[in-house]
């Protein structure tokens, strides 16, 4: 490689100005390239502290080299190299900054709850729709018990059909403590519920209408079963049975539905922004909510798979369910109404 030092002054003088410009700065470019390459390969630890500190400065230097080169040089190979290098460095300097741990800390320490509060009206709409779904399920079955078979999927519970005796129904709620396979059951529940929640989020893309349908369909099952147990005088026992995991799981479904609606509403009514900009903004907030929903569903599956079977009495179950509900409400809504929050609300 020829560098300015190895050339005699005479030869250097004979070079084009643009080539002299290149020779003077080449070392910086190649230093930046080496750092960027290491960063791209995930070997940040192997970069020396000195290089890491120099990265932003080097990036700016090379970016300005590109600007100057564009104005004075017609060397296409050098210009192409600089463009590719500045682009790569830009991705490193402005790339995803945080490590997974740092992101998780920011996420749990306020980012998630802020995103949930940012859903605003959509959360209220999703809640209203879920309540309406329960009512619809109840009323339909109360009007005509035939509906029960249509609403509650077959095999969902064999003993739990209209006309079953109170003792049979009670048997479905209690006395499963010694069962095997709780771990597999919990994993299955999680995978299934996470799938449904992500679906209700993703379907928000179709202006939120499929999300609403999914919410109604899922809560109508709850309404129908509530009616069934109410008929047998087991309302409180059933509510306790479902509240162990239900307060967490239904809350997660509420958030997922709200997230889906948030996207759907932003796309249907983008306001002054373009549809793309509105969708992207809503999508980012909703995605943050969804990452939390997956965490909540893990908690719900553990509660459903283990806690519900191990705590075999109504007061204990109500206590767990109530505590979880209070915990989530406090986590999302009780704290952090800082000055930064006002802008978030628009």
Site for another protein in 240-279 (CB under 8 A): 263, 276-277, 279
Instruction: Give the residue ranges of DSSP H helices in 203-234.
Output: 209-231
Q: How far is the CB of 257 from another protein (least distance, A)?
A: 14
DSSP state of 178: T
Residues 186-225 that bind another protein (CB under 8 A): 187-188, 190-191, 194-195, 198-199, 201-203, 205
CA distances (Å), 11 to each of 16, 17, 23, 224, in order? Answer: 10, 12, 13, 91
HSE (side-chain half, CA atoms, 13 Å) at 138 = 13
127 close to 254: Cβ distance less than 8 angstroms = yes
**3 counts as binding another protein under rule CB under 8 A:** no
Q: How far is the CB of 154 from another protein (least distance, A)?
A: 16
**72 counts as binding another protein under rule CB under 8 A:** yes
- What is the C-alpha R_g of the chain? 30
Per-residue binder mask for another protein (CB under 8 A), 18-57, x = binder:
xx--xx--x--xx--x-----xxxx-x-------------
Stretch that binds another protein, among 12-20, 124-132, 152-160, 327-335 (CB under 8 A): 12-20
85 close to 40: Cβ distance less than 8 angstroms = no
Stretch that binds another protein, among 81-89, 151-159, 236-244, 308-316 (CB under 8 A): 81-89
**227 counts as binding another protein under rule CB under 8 A:** no
**132 counts as binding another protein under rule CB under 8 A:** no
SS3 for 2? Answer: coil
Residues with Cβ < 8 Å from 119, sequence gap 6 or more?
255, 258, 259, 261, 262, 285, 286, 289
Indicate if the alpha-carbon torsion angle 205, 206, 212, 215 is positive or negative: negative
Residues 299-318 that bind another protein (CB under 8 A): none
122 close to 262: Cβ distance less than 8 angstroms = yes
Minimum CB distance to another protein smaller for 285 or for 317: 285
Closest of 147, 260, 247, 153 to residue 200, by C-alpha:
260
Of positions 128, 159, 280, 310, contacts another protein by CB under 8 A: 280
**286 counts as binding another protein under rule CB under 8 A:** yes
Of positions 28, 51, 52, 79, contacts another protein by CB under 8 A: 79
Minimum CB distance to another protein smaller for 75 or for 145: 75
Minimum CB distance to another protein smaller for 13 or for 339: 13
Number of Cβ within 10 Å of residue 50's Cβ equals: 7
DSSP state of 334: I
Q: How far is the CB of 208 from another protein (least distance, A)?
A: 13
Q: How far is the CB of 156 from another protein (least distance, A)?
A: 19
* Residues that contact another protein, how many (by CB under 8 A): 84
Tokens of 182: 């709780």
């Amino acid at each position: 490689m020829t560098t300015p030092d190895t050339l005699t002054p005479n030869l250097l003088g004979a070079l084009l100005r643009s080539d002299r410009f290149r020779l003077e700065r080449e070392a910086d470019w190649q230093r930046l390239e080496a750092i960027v390459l290491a960063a791209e390969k995930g070997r940040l630890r192997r970069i020396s502290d000195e290089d890491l500190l120099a990265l932003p400065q080097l990036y700016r230097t090379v970016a300005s080299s590109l600007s100057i080169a564009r104005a004075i040089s017609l060397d296409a190979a050098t210009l192409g190299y600089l463009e590719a290098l500045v682009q790569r460095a830009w991705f490193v300097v402005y790339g995803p900054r945080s490590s997974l741990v740092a992101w998780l800390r920011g996420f749990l320490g306020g980012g998630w709850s802020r995103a949930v509060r940012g859903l605003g009206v959509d959360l209220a709409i999703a809640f209203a729709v879920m309540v309406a779904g329960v009512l619809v399920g109840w009323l339909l079955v109360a009007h005509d018990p035939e509906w029960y078979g249509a609403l509650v999927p077959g095999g969902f519970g064999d003993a739990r059909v209209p006309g079953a005796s109170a003792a049979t129904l009670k048997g479905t709620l209690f006395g499963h403590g010694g069962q095997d396979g709780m771990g597999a059951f919990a994993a299955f529940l999680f995978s299934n519920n996470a799938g449904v929640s992500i679906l209700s989020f993703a379907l928000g893309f179709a202006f939120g209408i499929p999300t609403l349908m999914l919410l109604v369909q899922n809560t109508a099952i709850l309404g129908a079963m509530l009616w069934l147990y109410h008929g047998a005088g087991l309302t409180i026992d059933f509510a306790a049975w479902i509240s162990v995991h239900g307060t967490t799981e239904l809350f997660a479904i509420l958030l997922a539905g709200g997230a889906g609606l948030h996207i759907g509403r932003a796309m249907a009514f983008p306001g002054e922004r373009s549809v793309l900009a509105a969708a992207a903004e809503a999508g980012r907030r909703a995605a943050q909510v969804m990452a939390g929903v997956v965490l909540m569903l893990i908690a719900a599956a553990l509660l459903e798979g283990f806690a519900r079977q191990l705590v075999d009495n109504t007061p204990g179950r109500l206590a767990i369910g109530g505590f979880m509900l209070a915990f989530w409400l406090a986590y999302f809504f009780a704290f952090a109404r800082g000055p930064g929050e006002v802008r978030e609300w628009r």
